[in-house]
Amino acid sequence: MLVVMQEGAEEAQTQNVINRLVSMGFIVHRSSGMLHTVLGGVGPVGDVDPIEFEVMPGVKECHRIVSPYKLASRHFKPAGTRIQIGDVEIGGDQVVVMAGPCSVESRDQIGQVAEAVAASGAKVLRGGAFKPRSSPYSFQGMGEDGLKLLREAADRNKLLLVSEVMDQTQIPLLAAYVDILQVGARNMQNYNLLRELGALRKPVLLKRGISATIEELLLSAEYILSGGNYDVILCERGIRTFENSTRNTMDISAIPVVKALSHLPIVADPSHATGRRDKVLPMARAAVAAGADGLLVEVHHDPDHALSDGAQSLYPSQFAELMNQLRIIAPAVGRSV
Ligand code: PEP
Ligand code: MN
């Protein structure tokens, strides 16, 4: 913790800050310059919020020197985390593409889409059986029947399966069917869910919240890691900004920022980030060029009749084209597809 005192701060104010730091367990190093006194507190960072010091009389500013998350930090595992699921490695040399419809709708639908994405080179089938919809009147998903259809289609096409878990009571059900449990953007700060997922021994794909900072995303990952589940995959899926040309604003820079701050793999979801299929390919290319470990892409064989997110779902032929483009881009940044 670094506390910079205001110019002309009184000695009593400085002592007050020192006493506070010491009472919290910090060892304080004091350095007095011409204008400012700087206090360096070495010790337990835990949950100390710099604002607690910034509101004290005589304090100019206060900064944390180390991050508030530990297990999610790159320092914890400098070489990076690789998650092995069957013969697929996430966070390794290969860019892993996860693709499928927004929601599973029928055996015929998921069968057709799974076959198409597998033929183009996807490694993981995606599809929601429990859907977090903005309106309670929208299609809410097929539930367990949908999970059965997803598993069947994934197995038939030798794909892994990722699907969303909406609350902690659903964890055992999801865990029985899927290889990766997805936490949706709306649930990134559902701390009860995150804690329960920490007790699970299955990979979790954690999406960035609609208005979450990268630090908040990494703190949410910390909840899962601190429970002993180290297989967490982060996902940039766009954040809400003032820009309304696209459904969300895809924060491509989050990819290199997360890579520097954390050892966890990060994938990108250009479908929810843009909300329109004509923008999915360019954003997918950009994400892979920026260092994403994988992509999560919505594909539907008949998007005009999709029960959710049809406008952002690629036609199978567009998905095939996306994979072809990645076969050029990935090697340019030292990866394969
Ligand atoms: C999804 O992947 O289907 C989904 C609902 O995404 P998000 O949580 O990012 O909105
Ligand atoms: Mn969707």
Q: Is 184 in the pocket of ligand 1 (CB under 6 A)?
A: yes
- Which residue's CA is the nearest one to ligand 1's atom 9? 185
**Are 107 and 284 in contact, with CB atoms under 8 Å apart?**
no
pLDDT for 254-295, tens place per residue?
Answer: 999 999 999 999 999 999 999 999 999 999 999 999 999 999
**Are 184 and 207 in contact, with CB atoms under 8 Å apart?**
yes
Dihedral of CA 44/50/53/58: which sign? positive
User: Which atom of ligand 1 sits closest to the CA of residue 309?
Assistant: 3
- Which residue's CA is the nearest one to ligand 1's atom 4? 184
Residues above pLDDT 70, as percent of the chain: 99
Instruction: Over range 136-164, report the average pLDDT.
Output: 97
Domain residues of the chain, as ranges? 2-63, 83-333
Instruction: Over range 1-10, report the average pLDDT.
Output: 94
Residues above pLDDT 90, as percent of the chain: 92
Question: How far does residue 275's CA lie from ligand 2's centre (Å)?
Answer: 9
Q: Is 146 in the pocket of ligand 1 (CB under 6 A)?
A: no
Q: Is the pLDDT of residue 250 over 80?
A: yes
User: Which atom of ligand 1 sits closest to the CA of residue 126?
Assistant: 2
Q: Which of 28-42, 155-169, 274-288 has the lowest mean pLDDT?
A: 28-42
For position 1, what pLDDT does the model report?
85
Q: Is the pLDDT of residue 45 over 70?
A: no
The DSSP symbol for 232 reads E
Q: Is 128 in the pocket of ligand 1 (CB under 6 A)?
A: yes
Question: How far does residue 148's CA lie from ligand 2's centre (Å)?
Answer: 19
User: Which atom of ligand 1 sits closest to the CA of residue 238?
Assistant: 9
Q: Is the pLDDT of residue 237 over 70?
A: yes
For position 126, what pLDDT does the model report?
98
Pocket test for ligand 1, best of 166, 247, 269, 271 (most atoms within 8 A of CB): 269
For position 66, what pLDDT does the model report?
82
- Which residue's CA is the nearest one to ligand 1's atom 3? 102
Please name the residues in contact with 284: beta carbons below 8 A apart, sequence gap of 6 or more.
268, 270, 295, 297, 322, 325, 326
Instruction: Over range 43-53, report the average pLDDT.
Output: 82
CATH 3.30.70.1140 applies to domain 2-63? yes
Q: Which CATH superfamily is domain 83-333 in?
A: Aldolase class I (3.20.20.70)
What backbone torsions phi and psi does residue 155 show, to the nearest 5 degrees?
A: -65, -45
Helix axes 107-120, 144-156, angle to 10 degrees: 40
Q: What pTM, to 2 d.p., does this model score?
A: 0.91
Helix (H) or strand (E) holding 151: helix 144-156
Q: Is 102 in the pocket of ligand 1 (CB under 6 A)?
A: yes
For position 46, what pLDDT does the model report?
66
Taking every pair of Cα atoms in the chain, the longest distance, rounded to a whole number of angstroms, is: 76
Q: Is the pLDDT of residue 311 over 70?
A: yes
CB atoms under 10 Å from CB of 332, counted, come to 9
Partners of residue 126 on adjacent β-strands: 162
Which own/partner pairs from 36-43 qualify as long-range (CB within 8 Å, at least 24 positions apart)?
36/4, 36/5, 36/6, 36/7, 36/60, 37/4, 37/5, 37/9, 38/2, 38/3, 38/4, 38/5, 39/2, 39/3, 39/4, 39/5, 39/14, 40/1, 40/2, 40/65, 41/1, 41/2, 41/3, 43/1
User: Which atom of ligand 1 sits closest to the CA of residue 185?
Assistant: 8
Place of tokens 């090697």: 331
Question: How far does residue 237's CA lie from ligand 1's centre (Å)?
Answer: 8
